[in-house]
C-alpha cells in the first residue's frame, strides 16, 4: 500500500467509528434523556402521563406522610404550585420538610408523581441548582437564603 492508500484507510476507519459514535449519541439522546420541570411547569405544560421526567422544588412543610412498606407521600412546591409525589423506598439523609429535593419518575394519570429516585442535597448549605432556578422563576427565592449565617468570607 502506498502512503496515500494507508492514509485513506486510516481516515476511512476513523470516519466510520465517528459515524457510529454519532449515531449512538443521537439515538441515546433521543431515548434516554430526562427533562427537568418545576411544579409550575408541570401544571402549565401538562405533559402526557407516563413521561419520564425530573421535578424539583421544596418539600412542602407538613406534607410528608409515611405509609406501610416504606411508602412516603409528600408534596413538592415551588411556592406557586404543588405536586403530590409518591415514593416507595428509603429517602436520602437530608430529605426534610422545607428543604430542596429533586425527584425522578413518571407522572400518573391521577396527577400524582410516582418517583423512583429521590435526590436531596449533599450538604445542608447548598440547594440543587435546578431547585434554586425553579424557585427564582416562581418568585419565591430570596437572595442569600442559601448561605447560612456568618458567611462573611465570600
Q: How far apart are CA 7 and CA 5, in angstroms?
A: 5
Q: How far apart are CA 55 and CA 102, in angstroms?
A: 6
Q: How far apart are CA 54 and CA 52, in angstroms?
A: 7
Q: Which is nearer to another protein, 15 or 110 (CB)?
A: 15
The residue whose grid cell reads 409528600 is 74
Least Cβ distance, residue 140 to another protein (angstroms): 18
Q: Which is nearer to another protein, 32 or 142 (CB)?
A: 32
Q: How far apart are CA 47 and CA 18, in angstroms?
A: 35
Q: Which residues bind another protein (CB under 8 A)?
A: 1, 3, 6, 9-10, 13-14, 17-18, 20-21, 24-25, 27-29, 31-36, 54, 66, 69-70, 89-91, 93-94, 104, 122-130, 133, 148, 150-154
Q: Which is nearer to another protein, 16 or 111 (CB)?
A: 16
Amino acid at each position: 500500500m502506498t502512503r496515500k492508500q494507508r492514509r485513506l484507510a486510516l481516515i476511512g476507519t476513523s470516519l466510520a467509528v465517528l459515524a457510529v459514535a454519532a449515531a449512538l449519541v443521537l439515538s441515546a439522546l433521543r431515548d434516554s434523556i430526562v427533562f427537568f420541570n418545576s411544579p409550575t411547569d408541570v401544571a402549565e405544560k401538562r405533559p402526557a402521563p407516563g413521561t419520564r421526567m425530573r421535578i424539583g422544588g421544596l418539600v412542602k412543610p407538613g406534607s410528608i406522610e409515611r405509609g406501610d412498606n416504606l411508602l412516603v407521600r409528600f408534596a413538592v412546591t415551588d411556592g406557586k404550585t404543588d405536586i403530590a409525589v409518591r415514593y416507595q423506598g428509603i429517602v436520602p439523609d437530608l430529605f426534610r420538610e422545607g428543604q430542596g429535593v429533586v425527584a425522578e419518575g413518571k407522572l400518573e394519570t391521577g396527577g400524582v408523581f410516582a418517583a423512583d429516585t429521590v435526590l436531596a442535597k449533599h450538604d445542608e448549605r447548598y440547594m440543587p441548582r435546578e431547585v434554586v432556578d425553579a424557585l427564582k422563576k416562581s418568585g419565591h427565592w430570596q437572595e442569600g437564603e442559601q448561605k447560612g449565617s456568618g458567611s462573611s468570607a465570600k
